[in-house]
Amino acid sequence: MTETEPTGAPFPHQVFAADVRAADYPPPFSSAEVIAGPTDAPDERIEVGVLIVGGGPAGLACAIRLGQLIEEDPATAERLGEVPVALVDKGKQPGSHLLSGAVMNPRAVRRLFRGRPEQLEGVPTYGEVPGEGVYLLTRKRALRIPPPPTLRNHGNWIISISQMCRYLAEQAEVGGTFVLPETAADRLLVDHGRVVGIRSGDKGRGKEGEPLGNFEPGSDIVAGVTILAEGTAGHLTGAALDHFGLNGREPQIWELGVKEVWRVPKPLRRIVHTMGWPLRKPARYREFGGSWLYPMGDEMISLGFVVGLDYRDLELSAHDLLQEFKTHSFVRAILDGGERVAWGAKTITSGGWHAMPRSLGAPGLLLAGESAGLVDLARLKGVHYAIESGRLAAEAAFRSLQRGENPGRIGAFDGYDAEVRNGYLGKSLREVRNMRQAFEKGFFVGGGLASAMTVSKGKFPPKEFHNEPDAAAPLLRTDRASRYPAPDGVLTFDKLSSVFASGNRTRDDQPDHVRIERKVPRDVAEMWAWMCPAQVYEVGEDDGDGTVEVKLTPSNCVQCGAITARGGRLTPPEGGSGPEYTLT
Amino acid sequence: MSTLVFLEHHGGVIQKGALGVLARALALGGDVAGVVVGHGVADAAASAGAFGATTVYVVDDPAFEAPLPQPRVDALEAVVAASGAENILFASSVLSADIAAGLSARLDAGLNWDVTDVRIEGGQLIGKRPALGDTVLVDVGWTSTPRIALVRSGAFEPVETGGSATLHDVAVTLQDFSTAAQIVEQAHEQASGPSIEDADVIVAGGRGLGTADGFRLAEELAAALGGAVAATRAVVDAGWYPYATQVGQTGKSVSPKLYIALGISGAIQHKVGMQNSGVIVAINKDPNAPIFDFADFGVVGDLNQVAPKLAELVRARTA
Amino acid sequence: MKIAVCVKQVPDTTSVRRLDPATNRLDRSGEGAINATDINAVEEALRIKEAHGGEVVVVSLGPAKALDSLRKALAMGADRALLVSDEAAAGSDLVATSYALAKALERENADLVLFGQQSSDSDGAVLWSAVADRLRRPLVSQVADLGIDGATVTGKRQTEFGYDVITAPLPAIVAVSDAINEPRYPSLKGIMGAKSKPAETLSLADIGVEPERAGTRGSRTTVLALAPPPPKGDQVKIEDDGSAAEQLVDWLVGRKLL
């Protein structure tokens, strides 16, 4: 069935409904595979007091706070054993897998370093937001619009999350945490209904899984409390939510952001957000998103394009949208004479309040940061939520390990859960809980609803909106790809050289880490190929029965998480693989 | 200025690279002498006369039979003292690099390596060397004498002058530790050749070779050029050649002086692994292959015809 | 048996490598990684220790954060780390570096000193030979296979002409190539245990290096100027009419590549 848009509308073209959804071709994966008991002999297991999975702002804030608590309360610290706090991260070093805009509300980091001014001084930033502008783009113009109340950033800091977390990791180590990069968290160890730690991933396996000459098996790391701070599309987090029945009222949904950092001759003196072009407004396309441009001092700029992963057009490509976006005269003027120095991609958890886990704790387990669904998409804020929840998680974990307490009992972390939901984090999220979903109605209606929500602090409209899983988006085709600019290597770039610019040096003689149905209708395979910013998926041979083979190049993967949203399942490859972000 | 050029020899023949450095030294002017160290090397030393050396210092003794560096440091120390040379130039090789560095420590003399040119400016010797993967050229100097330089092999061509050389024997006192290392077995099979990261010449094969057997063409050409064989990801995935030889985004990055791509299209994931090569030659039957955009010399043709012919011509030249 | 492994931290090859315009020297302020072949040297040392017993010490000359590279070696299984870190060492060339390193190694008095063959930041192949001369010890370089038998070390040395087999009595200096082994991944226990292994930081004075032998004062070479490389010149593209091979050979000769 085809329809033609009314003439005079932007993008007049044919729309072909593909009548197929990625959700109908689920990946060969089950959360049960990720849950297991310890298998190492007891004296081979690595014992730690508190184990943190994830070296992002939530995990690191948690580690730093634990370091402070250990100093203040040596008696309880003793109960944590020889290795009181360990933090594992799958990237090559802290910051390698971190990517964000970012403009951060400094409230949480100030609280974290309260009474420690030198540590607060040391947080690397690009200064306070100097000014801001919000624009609605059309193909040729940039119309300045008053910033929606959710996008007011006065007093906030511009940061690189990768740089900031390299600094936070040093502080965590100084405070006594063992930071263990290049360590994938492969399985969640559960014993008698209680989380007792994780199993780290093997290293040195070949493409078929066979052990190579330098094969090093993973280890069981057992802990009194395990804190999952894996960020977006977390591997253990997804399995834990299923296993403990903690999935939120609504299914989780995601956005995909593609980012570049540019060195420019002309400083940008304010932060900029845009909406509109090159995204399409009609509701049938479900194209929600926009861009950012943030100065990083006088010499560099962070820019990126974000699009909701519930989009319908199977040729939509966030990477190419960013390239197309740069061709707008407004953006060209900002980048003029500059050169790209970094590239990356990452998903953002955007289900908000409704999709938050039913509880942020389970026996022996705490969820913090984006793993706990704590992202405020309307305000484009997640970093300070991560830091604050990490800090609270540290306090909850520490309390639970005090004499007379038991972190393994049911309800041990109800207090933490309540603190997050009832404190300023929960309050902010509740106010904007329906905003993202309102945009299903398209840009104008959605925008109107969003304003109403903001003004009423979430009380209006009275009904609650629902999330549809991103993978259930019915696909359609509109020849969108013909409008993507051809890469010129100066302003616009192809995916492969971008993957190279991310510092990705993943060993490709290792098992495939992406779980995906390999035989699917062409439309689904094409959707994946366009979706992936790193060109992991390619449409392979036609099987003659209406399906095609999906070809994978997993070594390109920058672990953005988009495949988990759109019908596959990302699992962590060998520790140390993936991008090596430093400026994102 | 007086310059001493180390004339490495193998199998009784002075190495071409050394003769090239000799030619350059002679062009710089001043007193230039060669030095040959070994056993039974009188003829080899004399042959340097045909390439412009008028004086050759000779250290000829069974102790120097084996091509080991440390006795040669002793020898050169003696020759430098005997000749009063200010500059000591070596054509870079596995052996000469060790000798030059040992000599640098022995005499506390500055050593600049990977030098692609030398010149005299204001009475000073200045060297030129590439740095950072050949992306910048650096002028390097010495703050005292003697000055030692390791010149990149192949930087200069020998010049036949048809002259003759006067040989001077030099007596050498060997240090006790210099002769402690001994050669037990001297083998000359090309076991597996240089690893691709160290190779100065690489012949890389891609899908255009047709089958795994096609790699024989690459091997033959590599052997003729004294280089290593590399492969693209596509053929490694297909099992035609080992992963250790894979060049590209997910394999190794190489920057040889000469990179010959056989049947390779030049897609970016391969390009990023070899784009810093000194000179890139491509042989491919597809005239639109992207590799022709960045190859210095491109041949649109059948590699099954061109590659063997090329190998044959190269062998004829180096014989 | 005591084995010392000399390890160098070099800028990570993925981050943009630049020369610092102020000093004309490599800008080392970016992220650092242990030089790739040094990891092979550490691995070889560990294998020897596992076969013959003894101690593996990793030694480095560099800025304070070179300790990260040393930690990695400790995580792999080395027993002790020694870092010589001193601002006065900045700008050291081969003469100054080999002098300082030799002093540090004299102190250790190891039976075997290992180096990794290539350093990715300066593409040299020279340090160990200078150190061997200063320590007055036999040297075997470009070793692709190494064996220890009692007090003798036997190495398979890879040259342009093939492989030679060389023996030398201990104490000796050996430089290994990346073909020698496949380095192990550090285990988690190894990584965590590395923190409590002894890691010493000394100054140049501590190891007996006189001020006039250090840094630019102690160096005998200098960097004068930078320039962009000359443009590559015109590209040639021909169709084979049977003479392509000849034309290519002529062109390669003209470019001094044959």
Q: Which residues of C touch B105 (CB under 8 A)?
A: 95, 98-99, 102, 129-131, 133-134
pTM: 0.84
Amino acid at residue number A80: L
B102 touches chain C (CB under 8 A): yes
Same domain, B209 and B118: no
Read off the pLDDT band of A572 (50, 70, 90).
very high
Asked if C15's CB is within 8 angstroms of A46's CB, the reply is no
Q: CA-CA-CA-CA torsion for A496, A500, A505, A510, nearest 10 degrees?
A: -10
Identity of the residue in B233, B250, B268 whose CB atom sits nearest the CB atom of A497: B268
Asked if A496's CB is within 8 angstroms of B268's CB, the reply is yes
Q: Which residues of chain B have pLDDT under 70?
A: 132-135, 154, 187-194, 249-250, 268
Please check whether residue A398 is in contact with residue A72, taking contact to mean a CB–CB distance below 8 angstroms. no
Among the listed residues B48, B45, B55, B44, the one whose alpha carbon sits nearest the alpha carbon of residue B2: B55
Please check whether residue B112 is in contact with residue B119, taking contact to mean a CB–CB distance below 8 angstroms. no
Asked if B279's CB is within 8 angstroms of C257's CB, the reply is yes
Q: Is residue B142 part of a domain?
A: yes
C161 touches chain A (CB under 8 A): no
Same domain, B11 and B156: yes
Please check whether residue B89 is in contact with residue B105, taking contact to mean a CB–CB distance below 8 angstroms. no
Contacts B–C by Cβ distance under 8 A: 263
Closest-approach residue (CA) in chain C for A216:
C185
Task: Tell whether omega for the bond before A278 is within 30 degrees of 0, i.e. cis.
Answer: yes
Among the listed residues A423, A414, A398, A405, the one whose alpha carbon sits nearest the alpha carbon of residue A63: A398
Domain A2-29+252-351+471-570, CATH: 3.30.70.20
Read off the pLDDT band of A439 (50, 70, 90).
low
Count other C-beta atoms under 10 Å from residue B171's C-beta. Answer: 9
Higher pLDDT, A49 or C18: A49
Higher pLDDT, A501 or B73: B73
Report the pLDDT averaged over residues A51-74: 97
* C64 CA: distance to closest CA in chain B (Å): 24
Gyration radius of chain B over CA positions? 22
Determine the Cα–Cα distance for residues A397 and A50; give it in Å rounded to an integer: 7
Q: How many residues does chain B have?
A: 319
Determine the Cα–Cα distance for residues A99 and B144; give it in Å rounded to an integer: 51
Task: Tell whether omega for the bond before A461 is within 30 degrees of 0, i.e. cis.
Answer: yes
Structure tokens at A505: 């040096």
Same domain, B233 and B161: no
Asked if B186's CB is within 8 angstroms of C235's CB, the reply is no
Q: Summarize pLDDT for B42-56 with one digit per residue, the tens.
A: 999 999 999 999 999
Chains sharing 3 or more CB pairs under 8 A with chain A: B, C
Please check whether residue A228 is in contact with residue A53, taking contact to mean a CB–CB distance below 8 angstroms. yes
Picking from B145, B179, B213, the residue at the C-terminal end of a domain is B179
Among the listed residues C40, C8, C13, C43, the one whose alpha carbon sits nearest the alpha carbon of residue C119: C8
Per CATH, which fold does C2-225 belong to? Rossmann fold (3.40.50)
* Domain residue ranges of chain C, discontinuous segments joined by +: 2-225
Q: Summarize pLDDT for A178-227 with one digit per residue, the tens.
A: 999 999 999 999 999 999 999 999 999 998 999 998 999 999 999 999 99
pLDDT at position A2: 37
- Give the count of alpha carbons within 13 A of A401, CB side only: 30
What is the CATH number for B303?
Answer: 3.40.50.1220
Please check whether residue A367 is in contact with residue A228, taking contact to mean a CB–CB distance below 8 angstroms. yes
Which residues, in sequence order, are CB contacts of C91 under 8 Å at separation 6+? C23, C25, C215, C216, C219
Asked if C141's CB is within 8 angstroms of B132's CB, the reply is no
Please check whether residue A308 is in contact with residue A439, taking contact to mean a CB–CB distance below 8 angstroms. yes
Q: Is residue B195 part of a domain?
A: no
Report the pLDDT averaged over residues A37-43: 95
Same domain, B206 and B269: yes
Please check whether residue C204 is in contact with residue C214, taking contact to mean a CB–CB distance below 8 angstroms. yes
In DSSP notation, A321-365 reads HHHHHHTSHHHHHHHTT-EEEEEEEEEEE--GGGGS-S-SEETTE
Q: Which residues of C touch A46 (CB under 8 A)?
A: 188-189, 192
Report the pLDDT averaged over residues A380-405: 93
Please check whether residue A527 is in contact with residue A502, taking contact to mean a CB–CB distance below 8 angstroms. no
Determine the Cα–Cα distance for residues A440 and A445; give it in Å rounded to an integer: 9
Asked if C15's CB is within 8 angstroms of A582's CB, the reply is yes
Q: How many domains does chain B have?
A: 2
Strands B111-115 and B31-38: unpaired
Determine the Cα–Cα distance for residues B45 and C74; give it in Å rounded to an integer: 50
A263 touches chain C (CB under 8 A): no
What is the CATH number for B114?
Answer: 3.40.50.620
Closest-approach residue (CA) in chain A for C75:
A180
Determine the Cα–Cα distance for residues B83 and B155; give it in Å rounded to an integer: 26
Determine the Cα–Cα distance for residues C166 and B68; give it in Å rounded to an integer: 9
Domain range enclosing B311: 201-318
Q: Summarize pLDDT for A95-133 with one digit per residue, the tens.
A: 999 999 999 999 999 999 999 999 999 999 999 999 999
User: Has residue A526 got a pLDDT over 60?
Assistant: yes
Q: Is C37 left (phi over 0), alpha (psi -120 to 50) or beta?
A: alpha
Q: Which residues pair with A294 in a beta bridge?
A: A302
Q: Is residue B188 part of a domain?
A: no
Residues 51-90 of C with CB under 8 A from B: none
pLDDT at position A5: 35
3-class SS at C2? Answer: strand
Pick the CATH number of A46-124+159-248+356-431 from 3.40.50.880, 1.20.210.10, 3.50.50.60, 3.90.226.10: 3.50.50.60
3-class SS at A200? Answer: strand
* Domain residue ranges of chain A, discontinuous segments joined by +: 2-29+252-351+471-570, 46-124+159-248+356-431, 436-462
Q: Summarize pLDDT for B291-311 with one digit per residue, the tens.
A: 887 899 999 999 999 999 999
Determine the Cα–Cα distance for residues A230 and A60; give it in Å rounded to an integer: 11
Please check whether residue B258 is in contact with residue B201, taking contact to mean a CB–CB distance below 8 angstroms. yes
Same domain, B56 and B153: yes
Pure H helices in B63-177 = 69-83, 94-107
Helix (H) or strand (E) holding A553: none
3-class SS at B64? Answer: helix
Q: Which residues of A touch B267 (CB under 8 A)?
A: 496
Please check whether residue C142 is in contact with residue C158, taking contact to mean a CB–CB distance below 8 angstroms. yes
Q: For chain C, first and last CA: distance in Å?
A: 47
CA A3 to chain centre: 35
pLDDT at position A447: 65
